Chains A and B, each alone.
Chain A
Amino acid sequence: MTPIDLLSLPLIALGAFFFFAGTVGLLRFPDVYTRLHALTKADNLGLGLIVMGLAVHAESWFVAGELFLIWTLVLVSGASVAHLVAHSALEKGIRPWER
């Protein structure tokens, strides 16, 4: 295991853990708003960590920049889509879950 691997493997493993946490949230949270919260927060962070872990392996700064651009795109589109879903859920009258 090269030193690069020692750096990237924990990052990727941590990213996978965040994805797992987001999926658990998706399956277990009570209503659509909390599920959106779990999806966007955990998955974006997970993707960022995985991107960091992969960028360590990149052949050049350009490739690493491409990876970060992908992460930015996922962030932007994820946030917009989450807003749209929540907005349409609100219009349909789905009330946020209360304890």
Chain B
Amino acid sequence: MGAMTLLGWAFDGLVGTGLVWLAWRALSSPSLYAAVVLFVAFGLLLTLAWVRLNAPDVALAEAAIGAGLTGALLLGALARLRGSGARKASGAHADRPGARISAWPLAATATLAVVCGLAATLIFREPTTVGLGAEVTRNLPVSGVSNPVTAVLLNFRGYDTLLETGVLLLALIGARSFGPAIDYAPEPAPAGPVLEALARFLVPLAILVSGYLLWVGAYAPGGAFQAGAVLAALGVVLVLSGQGRGRMTAPGLAVRFLFVLGPAAFVIMAAATLALQGRLLEYPPAHAGVLILVLEAAATLSIGAILLALFAGSSFGKDNGTGP
């Protein structure tokens, strides 16, 4: 048992060192492309850290959204940046004529102070602080699900999730409000048979995996966000392979309905529980499981559609040679 713990410590130390090293390399590399790729690798190593911390739901979300979708967004933005002819990235400490006092000594000192303060807080924490874990475990049987994270997300803190779906929708509206919409997907060059075949191979599989994650979230790691992210990833692959581009350009009524479905379902449920029981988002324990599943299904579709739309906007109006 002692050897196992030592191995565990060594592994955690490796992962932690790797995280810090990858983040440092990502933030200090002169090439933007290398920075983005290193950031994606950082996200994948972070997934491993979540698994070590006994947080498989977070690991799934980090892999799909944090590393995967964020990486796709960053790479797409980088490609658009190159395409629009923006100047190459300046060096790390660019010195332009008329620059103010160099910022980096002050920034380094301030940052070091912040890190030391945080570390001190973490190390000298009161050992008697107790989280809400006991409360969650006590109330889990009446929550309708047996996965505590899903119970917290959809039942105990359902209000936060309601606001979160609203935030997603707001981000989409904000991103689409900037005149001729930004499209991160590359020009519809002939995708080649391999990518098309891969996309077609992945479609039924991804839908199956997404439905499985949604269903299994009630009693095992999974849930609406992970399932929605898988759907969004499928959409990204389809868009990149040249198929299904038309859906997200000038989205029709059906797609807009999908965008709003998640937030609307939450709001309707909140209003209903408020009207019928006098308390916000408090489900009757007998039906809690079904209600949670319905909410999660609506949220999955909505999250998938919004995340995809954040990546593959419309391409009308831009003069970079694209166009459906």
Contact = CB atoms under 8 A, between A and B. Distances in A.
Touch A–B, Cβ below 8 Å: yes
Interface of A: 73, 76-77, 80, 83-84, 87
14 contacts: A73-B205, A76-B198, A76-B201, A77-B198, A80-B194, A80-B195, A80-B197, A80-B198, A83-B194, A84-B192, A84-B194, A84-B195, A87-B192, A87-B194
Contacts of B198: 76-77, 80
B204 to A, nearest CB: 13
A77 B194 CA distance: 10
A87 B189 CA distance: 13
Contacts of A83: 194
A60 to B, nearest CB: 15
Contacts of A73: 205
Nearest to B205: A73
Interface of B: 192, 194-195, 197-198, 201, 205
Contacts of B192: 84, 87
Contacts of B194: 80, 83-84, 87
A42 B194 CA distance: 21
B48 to A, nearest CB: 14
B184 to A, nearest CB: 18
B285 to A, nearest CB: 31
Contacts of B195: 80, 84
Given A83-B194, A84-B194, A84-B195, 11 more contacts: A73-B205, A76-B198, A76-B201, A77-B198, A80-B194, A80-B195, A80-B197, A80-B198, A84-B192, A87-B192, A87-B194
A76 to B, nearest CB: 7
A20 to B, nearest CB: 14
A73 B192 CA distance: 20
Nearest to A79: B194
**6 residue pairs, one from A and one from B, having the closest CB atoms:** A80-B198, A83-B194, A80-B194, A84-B195, A76-B201, A84-B194
Contacts of A87: 192, 194
B248 to A, nearest CB: 22
A85 B192 CA distance: 12
Nearest to A69: B205
A77 B201 CA distance: 10
A87 B192 CA distance: 10
Which one of A80, A84, A87 has the greatest number of beta carbons of chain B within 10 Å? A80
A98 to B, nearest CB: 26
Nearest to B192: A87
Contacts of A77: 198
Contacts of B201: 76
A87 B193 CA distance: 12
Nearest to A81: B198
A40 to B, nearest CB: 13
B208 to A, nearest CB: 10
A73 B197 CA distance: 13
B4 to A, nearest CB: 13
Contacts of B197: 80
A3 B198 CA distance: 40
A23 B201 CA distance: 28
A44 to B, nearest CB: 16
A29 B198 CA distance: 28
